[in-house]
Structure 1
Amino acid sequence: MSDRLVRLYPVAYRAAHGQEIVDVHREMTAELSRPARLRADADLAAHALRVRLGLDSASPAGRLFALAAPFALAAAAVTSGLHLTRWYAGLALSPAPARVQLAATDGAWILFLLLSLLVCVGAVVALTGRWGRGAGPAVCGLLGTAVQGISAAPSPDQGGIAPVAALLTAAVVLACPPDRRGDRRLSAAAGAVAAVGWFPVVVVNAGSYTGALGVSTDYGAWPLLVLAFAGVALALRAHSWGLREMSAMAVASPLLTANAYLAWGELLPVLGALLLLPAGAALTSSVQAVRRLRS
């Protein structure tokens, strides 16, 4: 079996490492039960496909997705959290009893809220040190919202852009190489991005709902700004030029971009917000240039 699985690797990689892979795989699976051996074979096939697609941890694309995946989960948590808090605010402020409102809630809304809750809980679990237990449910929630948005059932976040963004975000999380998942430093930074990107918007909207402010200011710009700032901070800490970090933030941003587009209803303001990412790369490049001149 291992001989056939090794053929999934690219020719050059197989010529350099094929026999070593076969020997190690046989040794590791010699005393395993049949189900465990099948899981090991599946892991080997998955690694071969990752190498063929350039998504292993040694490739540039693999390293990019490893950096982007925690922040994609953070973006998913922010977006789903905003859906849930908007719904809860409407439920709490309505004069009708909560029991009556829940009984009258459309089934599609209930499903959407449950999927959003699954995304939030999964992202929190993944970013607090249990990646395997959290990323899977979060991805399932994202795929569920995408299917709901594409299907005939009405989705609360209207438009085709939201399902596409959910699919892209799920793909980013899944593309992260297995040996790069759950990095504590990146997960902590992504968790901070999720909290800072979500909480101020909820506070501002709470003021809008209660009449302290005249209009809602939730146009999706703040979470994108937080994400761009996180990329700049990571680049400065790593003494990088910022291109890789800001590219990772761009890869992680589809859900936040979709949220901003649905809030504004126009493309130009969203494009203006997305300019924060190349601006962040330019800023970090300038800082690194100044550092090198001084040294």
Structure 2
Amino acid sequence: MSCSLGISTGSSGVYSALVDTDTSTNAPGAVPAETRFVSADQANSNVGDLVRASIKLMTTQVTDGSEAPRSIGVSYRTDDQLASIKSSLSRSPKQVRAIPEPAAVHAYLAETGKTERYDTTAQVDVGDQGLTVSVVDHTGEVLHSDRIDALAGAGIDRALVDFVTEKAPGHLRRYTDAELLSARCHVAKEQLSTATKVTIDLPVDAMAITRDEFEAIIAPDIERAVTFIREVVNGSPRPVGAVVLIGGGAHIPAVRSAVAAAVDLPLVEIVEPETAATKGAALLA
């Protein structure tokens, strides 16, 4: 099997994907990949170091010698991320190609054929620290890009923590470990993308949260986000044919439906929207 390694960078960690590039054995439009996630924390938050750790993980532990990736691509969002990646890999013997994230996403979409009918698309990245809208033409050129702090995954987690803390009786609030509660709220947020009700374990008792409650919590943030998306799409230098939702926040049903209603354009959905740039980076590598 021929494979390439793709890595995408984010504030909460980096995704890695070993992508099968043997087109003779792959189904048309398929991008077979094995993915991993290396999480950032207080002791390990430097993007470049996380990328280096991911390369080591994917080339020495996930594969054997016969399946080592022939090439490596790393997508980045900002100039600061690019500088950090170059610094951490400056002494690496492996050749790594740095790729702007919108270009990596475009490569993945082109490979899958999901956007082939559109001359221009708007990539809406709902990430951990905010939302980015990038208008990209059919060649992968970024025509315009803008960012807002709405719908940040970390902010949604904090809002859910505040909701649980306020709803819980006083004695539960007093004895709840803040870090543990935050982690459990993060998991609950992800589960509510597919479930209509979840339970969060607390020290003395458990608390149920419904999807309706969750959507009410994030409703103001969604409204702010879709207003921003609409402005960017309407102000695009070229007419936008479709909107592509990527990033972890793209899993939230209320986000998908609100964006679709706001822009009145076809909405391109991806099975694993958080790994689109990762797989695209591998393809471009």
TM-score by length of 2: 0.30
Instruction: Judging by fraction of residues, say which structure has more helix.
Output: 1
Higher strand share: 2
Q: Which has the larger radius of gyration?
A: 1
